[in-house]
A and B are shown apart, each in its own frame.
Chain A
Amino acid sequence: MKRIIILSLTIITLVSVSCKKILEPETPSAFTEDYIFSNETDAKKAVNGVYALFNGDPYTSRVSTNFAGNTDVEAGGVAASPDNNRRDIWSFEATPTNPDLLTVWNTAYNAINRANECIDGIKASPIANTPAMKQLSGECKVLRAIWYQILFNHWGDVPFKITPTKAGDDFYLPKTGRDSIMTFLIDDLIAAEADMQWAVNLDFGVERINREFTMGMIARLSLFRGGYWLYPDLTMKRKDDYLKYYTIANSYCKKLVDSKPHNLTPFAQLFENINKSVKNSNEDVLFEVAFAPGAGDVGWNIGIGVSAGTHNFGSTSIAMVFAPNYYHSFDTTDLRLPVTCSIISYDANLLQQPVAVTAISMGKWNRLLRNGNLGASTSKGTGVNWPLMRYSDVLLMLAETENELNGPNAVAKDALRKVRQRAFASTQWDTKVENYISTVSGGKIDFFNAIVNERAWEFGGEFIRKYDLARWNIYGKKVAESINTFNAMGQDAIAGVGTYSTLPDYLYYKRVGSNLEFLSKFSKPAVPPLVDPLLGYTRVSWTRSLWNTTTNSAADYTLRQYRGYKDATGVAPVKYILPIHNSIITSSLGVLKNDYGY
């Protein structure tokens, strides 16, 4: 009996010791929150995780580029019938089963939650008050605002969450009004702004969210808050307190211009820099999303077309191009035109080829500038960064808000002047800058219209037009204008008379080496040249392809581009708000539903 007792005691002791130890969940490869936010190095790595969500298809090849169509600037080709994919978003025909809607929504909230986790983690950290931690917290707040902006720009009122998700939370959040969300975000960034650092003082400059970008974001969010938006009853309205937000936007634009003026990089240089990954603080770009080689889709689904071949630049699969009327809206001497619009693409042997009038591509993005480090079979993953805001945007927001608050005064004109001076050779400043500004400064409305145009010319291919048009409540007008213009251009080209009959009905070109030489890019030559590929020119039909001569009606292109919008007068609002994906509606247990007639 004695041995049994001894045995039992020994076993019980051994067992209880080992039980306790083996049930301790120590994992060498995982760290807990307390550790991560206890030092700056690891906290920064946690914040990198918020940034990381920019590097995924839902951002790179969906919301940052594709979701911004179709407008009078950026417009992607739409097929004969809805495809339940990105094209339905362009033609205002999206349905709640469109898979893109789900991935973008999920990524946005994923990023918001990661930002919330970091903001909370930093707040609870013993070193929360060091400048570096405050900067990191500010970065997260701006990142959160960027993703909320994506959400309310596309879905209107959405669930709003500013704390990290934890088990036991109420998971079934109703929609929060856009105005409340924006108000919160503006206040949030205003509070964080002073603690943030200028790009020059940050380790990765304009690739990290910095103080100047934060100011720009305050202004941008304020303009959205002060602008129009689509209500579920399909009317466009703005809040009564909108002027308050124009004032905030105005003061933050001024604050940046006064406290940290930036130089405007020459326009061509600016985009060459971006394509070549040259990053300069204190210049035009305030913040750009950083893609390492192998990541990012800039120059793959947008940009100058390149076909796969024996060369080392891989190939593009261009989704978004420019509307034909945008190309012809430029002053032909505008230095931004040749940078922005490309009417050539490159074939398998890197020979230039003309594009169709409906496929004018975005010259700002060009994988051929990647210095051959791409590889023959590459497609996506160009490594080109994606600028989210430029200093010229702040200048134009300053001009716009100043005009709205005080009319086209000197401050407004000066801001516009800075942008236009860069756009034209200094020899032309008298006519193209000074004279132009005086013509458009007659009144508030004229100046506003000039801002609408200037932002189109300045930012074409940067995918902010759609949201500007909505907040100005001129989206319907611009869509109708575009449709009518396409038809007029086509009809005039064929008839040979009319407003647009001076535009090239055909483009004539000849090959010089591997390049193309166009006879006249912007107007119809007085005498059409002899078309003979061997001796001289080859032609490609230009504005005349915007009219269907067989049926004597609008070209398929025109019929399809904005198919979901039916009002030829442009009075009806565009249903630019997207439906919430079915599976989100399902998983919300009925708390969320689709409005806007979806």
Chain B
Amino acid sequence: MKQKFSLSLILVFCSFILWAQGRKVTGTVTKDGTSEALSSVTVSLKGSTTSTATNSLGQFTITVPANNSVLIFSSVGYRSSSVAVGAKTTLDITLSQESSTLNDVVVIGYGTARKKDLTGATASMAAGTLEKIPLSSAAEAMTGRLAGVSVTTTDGAPGAEIVIRVRGGGSVTQDNSPLYIVDGFPLGSINDIAPSDIASIDILKDASSTAIYGARGANGVVIITTKSAKGGKTTISLNSFAQNRSLPKKLEVLSPYEFVLSQYEYARIRSQAEVDNFSKYFGVYDDLELYKSQKGTDWQKELFGNNGGSQQHNFSITSGTDKSKMSFSLSNNQDQGIQPGSGYERTYMNFKLNQELYKNLKFDLTSRYTNTDVLGAGTSGGSSVRIGDGITTRPVNGIADQIEFDPLNAGATSDEYEQFIKSLVSPTELTKQDYRKVLTKAFNMNAAVSWSINKSLVYRSEFGLDLSWANNRRYYGPLTGESRTNGNSLPLGEIRNSSSQRYRWANTLTYVLKTGEHDLNLMGGQEVISGKLANDYTRSENFDANLPPEKMFGNMALGILDRFETYEGPADNLASFFGRANYQFKEKYLLTLTARYDGSLKFAPGKQWGLFPAAAVAWRVSQEDFMKDIDVISDFKLRFSYGASGNNRIGNDQFRRTFSIQTNRPIGFGDVNQAYWGAASSILVNPDLKWETTVTRNLGLDFGLWRNRLSGTVDVYYNTTKDLLVQSAIPSYLGYSSQMRNIGQTSNKGVELSLNASIVSKKDFQLSANFNIGFNRSRIDALDGVNEQPFNSNWAGTDLKSQDDYKLIVGRTVGLMYGYVTDGFYTVDDFDANATTYAPLKYVLNKGVADIQSFMGGIALRPGLLKLKDLNGDGIITADDRQIIGTAQPKFQGGFGLNTTYKGFDFSAFFNFVSGNDIYNTGRVSFDMNYRTTYGNMLDRMNSSNRFKYIDESGALVTNLEQLRTLNANANIWTPFSMGNASPVFHSDAVEDGSFLRLNNLTLGYSLPKLLISKVRMTRLRVYATVFNAFLWTKYTGYDPEVSATRNSSYTALTPGVDYSAYPKSRTFTAGINVTF
């Protein structure tokens, strides 16, 4: 191969052009080492404009003028080859696959560039990577694969929100999501894109590349290009897979016996009356042994044991001629969650057409339709069912499980049993009553005309529209909190309709000039995005208790109308002008200048426009003469960029006071709710708002070693975001507690490394590996004049003792957890045996032992209580005894993978990891106590051989210090009754290391031999099996460390890393088939 390459090079240099009478040369191009025909290979005559392409069988015909003509064969992903025609009339050429990605085309915004020509920091993922793994979302595919890009699924619910952050994200309170551009159109999320339709994902990370998107590029840009049609033969493919989900891990809870024992102990500590109550339901102490043989209900299995299968089918056709190419794809994805009644169904349709209208006029059309139905309210956000229900719901119903009681002949006592049994709100029943269905339809269409005015000037005009409709149906059954507190314990329903229409029109003019050693590419353009939003909200109450949700939404008039609200407003309108200049000298020295001038509706007239310039230089050192002799290095490029990009992601009308009609908690003149005009924005409007700007500095190095067998990229960056659009706290005596201001500064510093290695590349055996890692340090450089600002994660609402459990501190990162420091438990030695009296019972602490008094609201101070560190040394525990006890920001994260093929078999494994972050595991607090439960269960950590106990073998209460010492000689954890049932305390025991290494997916595939399948006209038949979330190495004791979920329905940027009732991630087994005709 090496010889061939050198030979062709020599031929190139030796050849000179002679014009003579033409003659035809025909031939076939195949892939090196196989018999696979390569289509769409460009065959061009060196030194002329004559070119053609191979057809679907790899065949070509070209007219050459003379014997000494040289033909160049090139195709993306293959090393190009030059061949002297000589006297031959037929040529059979083989092209070898390029292990380097240098010629890969990267989408850079209003254009494309080859990777080797880039001056900015980008990360890309080609379809090849996406094809082999069966995925139900594009974002999922990106997890851990791109250096500097963090992808976190907030929880495991089907269709859960996915949080993507490029290089940490600069904003403090604003949306840090990158800008998503799908086939040129900016979209709010990429959930509507079928993963099977994606051709490539490109991520622009520094200002040099994002500045072309000026306005909204500050948090990086994710560009998704869907698959395009190829000319030539018609291809039909079918891809299908079926999945089975399961809960990979269950938390261990107290056994029925341990459960009743703990409840007995709790009753015994409190009073005889409580013990009597307990005995009524669970029997007397001496009989509790019987529970040892009882098998309790496994509520985790009941709640998350749904093994409902999922499936996805994709059908696609591509076809066309040289002048007209089309592709169509249809996908359907049905996914059932592990929680009964949760799941979603998506149908995608994608159509693309590329038509050459005239010789110099091309027309492109893309249209996409998505229909999504998501069912189930999940477990976080506004749902009624909480993960905790799987843990804390009592596993047995005591005596009631043993006796049959007849409601008709119920006496006074059995009435109480009925009450007791009724007090158990079955989580599975609750799941059924907590119903949500979201129906979304989206239609997107883009049309573009490209006019090659002359050889070097191209004008392109794109027009796109994006329409979407969502219908959100929420039903609250009588068991839900909403119904009980606001709906008279009868079903109530809400319907929220929202629609948006957005139009985009962009015009660009591109000028290309190549003379000698100079290579210039100029692009200038303009873009407008405009649209409208509308939504309405209906709420009706007091429906019949037996009315099923489906019927309710069909007959909303059966209830009593509570609210009907409508809203209409503009979308995120934007007008822009932009330009870019790329200049190369001798293919060694590269320069890119970019600027964008953006006007946004979100700012006051006069402050609407912002200019975002950027510049980048690169030096391909490997092209220099002095590098020629260094064989090891095949490519070496240094890049530096500096530039600014903007962010305007705030709500509309934050710069001026507007009023909207409101019906929430109005005054009731005349016993009728009186709607009122209220400030449309609950935060103080600010006419001085302007663009937030991120300045990025990036130093990068691209290298290829051993003929690009090992290639990689290293980037070092330093981003500062100034004029932060911060919703900053203002003193609440102003009538508003916050105002949107441009204030403060944050920075992100980091290093990223990605490596690709082609280890073995033989005909029958290929092995490649990839690795990426990103280190990011975020810092708050300046806040709103203050040095610290408290925040509440609100997982326990106002129940939480000292609610401000997060802090922002200047000089430190976002996500600092603020709480008490766990100090074990009070031992017998902490008490003064002489001063302690037993009648009346009064424990007296030794001098110097911090007094927790009744701070936590649990049982009175005694040995065994959870002890907190007295940080300020004043002898008593107060809210002042808190410090930073955890940080949610990881030190580094990344992934690595292995791909191998051997004959027909292919195998791939991919791991991702996160390290150095802490997780605020709310379960370590709320599942280790009776938080808001009566006769509720706890985690097994609190079993009788671990916890500090107060009852002896006969069930009697032990109060004597010495007896307590003997009884608890082996106790290693505090009593679960340390905290009040409604006042959990955040202490450092709940902060856990969130580092993990996950075997994200494991795939084994087999492609049937070509010979065999060609008989049935197939070109490819592959069967495969994949395991997702196959294995997890972590010290984290909750369900899954990849989590960020709290009470709020969406990701909370300022209190990250909370694990509150996150829907557990499932393990998925997939079997699938790919067929191509």
Chain A residues engaging chain B, CB cutoff 8 angstroms = 3-4, 7, 11, 15, 18-19, 21-33, 36, 42, 45-49, 51-52, 54-56, 80-84, 95, 97, 99, 102, 105-106, 109-114, 116-117, 158-159, 161, 164-169, 171-173, 203-204, 207-208, 277, 289-293, 295-296, 375-380, 383, 551, 582-584, 586-589, 591-592
Contacts and interface: CB of A to CB of B under 8 A. Distances in A.
Contact of B657 (A32, A97, A116, A292): A32
B676 A49 contact: yes
28 contacts: A7-B459, A19-B575, A22-B570, A22-B573, A23-B600, A25-B652, A33-B659, A36-B677, A45-B661, A45-B675, A45-B676, A48-B677, A49-B677, A52-B665, A52-B676, A52-B678, A97-B802, A99-B803, A113-B736, A116-B735, A158-B733, A291-B668, A379-B485, A584-B733, A586-B789, A587-B729, A587-B786, A589-B786
B608 A29 contact: no
A26 B526 contact: no
Contacts of A296: 668
A106 B731 CA distance: 9
A583 B659 contact: no
Contacts of B489: 375-377
Contact of B853 (A54, A81, A97): A81
B734 A81 contact: no
B730 A587 contact: yes
Interface string B676-687: 111110001111
Nearest to B602: A25
Interface stretch (B131-139, B323-331, B561-569): B561-569
Contacts of B677: 31, 36, 42, 45-46, 48-49
Contacts of A48: 666-667, 669, 674-677
A290 B668 contact: yes
A583 B790 CA distance: 8
Given A25-B601, A49-B676, A383-B671, A377 B530 contact: no
Most buried by A among B685, B686, B853, B857: B857
Contacts of A24: 601
Given A83-B857, A159-B731, A376-B489, A31 B658 contact: yes
Q: Which of B662, B667, B670, B687 has the most CB of A within 10 A?
A: B667
A11 B732 contact: no
B660 interface: yes
A171 B731 contact: yes
List 10 tightest A-B contacts by C-beta distance, closest first. Answer: A113-B735, A292-B668, A377-B489, A81-B854, A30-B658, A48-B676, A51-B667, A49-B676, A19-B575, A22-B530
B777 interface: no
A109 B484 CA distance: 31
A114 B735 contact: yes
Contacts of B567: 29
B367 interface: no
B685 A167 contact: yes
Contacts of B790: 583, 586
Contact of A109 (B528, B575, B674, B732): B732
B848 interface: no
A332 B573 CA distance: 74
A28 B601 contact: no
Contacts of A19: 528, 575, 599
A49 B679 CA distance: 9
A583 B507 contact: no
Contact of B737 (A15, A106, A111): A106
A55 B667 contact: yes
Given A106-B737, A290-B669, 15 more contacts: A15-B575, A18-B575, A22-B528, A22-B573, A27-B570, A29-B660, A42-B677, A47-B676, A48-B667, A52-B662, A81-B857, A117-B679, A376-B488, A551-B840, A587-B730
B221 to A, nearest CB: 22
Contact of B735 (A7, A165, A293, A551): A165
B690 to A, nearest CB: 13
Contact of A27 (B457, B569, B840): B569
B128 interface: no
Contacts of A116: 735
B785 interface: yes
Nearest to B879: A97
A164 B684 CA distance: 11
A207 B659 contact: no
A377 B667 contact: no
Contact of A52 (B667, B730, B860): B667
Nearest to B658: A30
B734 A207 contact: no
Nearest to B681: A30
Contacts of A102: 732
A171 B728 CA distance: 12
B688 interface: yes
Contact of B732 (A33, A84, A376, A584): A584
Nearest to B457: A4
Nearest to B680: A30
B533 to A, nearest CB: 10
A46 B608 CA distance: 30
Interface in B699-741: 729-737, 739
Contacts of B605: 23
A102 B804 CA distance: 13
Given A583-B790, A586-B786, A29 B568 contact: yes
B676 A290 contact: no
Among A295, A383, A592, which residue has the most Cβ atoms of chain B within 10 A?
A295
B798 interface: yes
Contacts of A4: 453, 457
A24 B666 CA distance: 32
B162 to A, nearest CB: 30
Contacts of A378: 488
Contacts of B661: 45
A47 B666 CA distance: 11
B735 A584 contact: no
A112 B735 contact: yes
**Most chain B C-beta atoms within 10 Å of own C-beta, residue among A102, A109, A161, A289:** A109
Contacts of B688: 167-168
Contacts of A11: 507, 526
B653 interface: yes
B658 A292 contact: no
Contacts of B87: none
Interface in B567-626: 567-570, 573-575, 599-601, 605, 608
B798 A99 contact: yes
A447 B736 CA distance: 46
A52 B674 CA distance: 9
B735 A32 contact: no
B273 interface: no
B236 to A, nearest CB: 41
Contacts of B736: 110, 113, 165
Given A22-B528, A551-B840, A589-B785, A377 B488 contact: yes
B277 interface: no
B507 A169 contact: no
Contacts of A113: 734-736
A27 B658 contact: yes
Given A15-B528, A23-B573, A49 B662 contact: yes
Contacts of B601: 22-25
A341 B785 CA distance: 54
Contact of B653 (A30, A52, A158, A377): A30
In this complex, which of A30, A80, A591 has the most chain B Cβ atoms within 10 angstroms of its Cβ? A30
Interface in B80-118: none
A284 B54 CA distance: 98
Q: Which one of B733, B789, B804 has the highest number of Cβ atoms from chain A below 10 Å of its Cβ?
A: B733
A25 B658 CA distance: 11
Contacts of B666: 48, 52, 55, 292
B673 interface: yes
B670 A204 contact: yes
B1 interface: no
Contacts of A166: 684
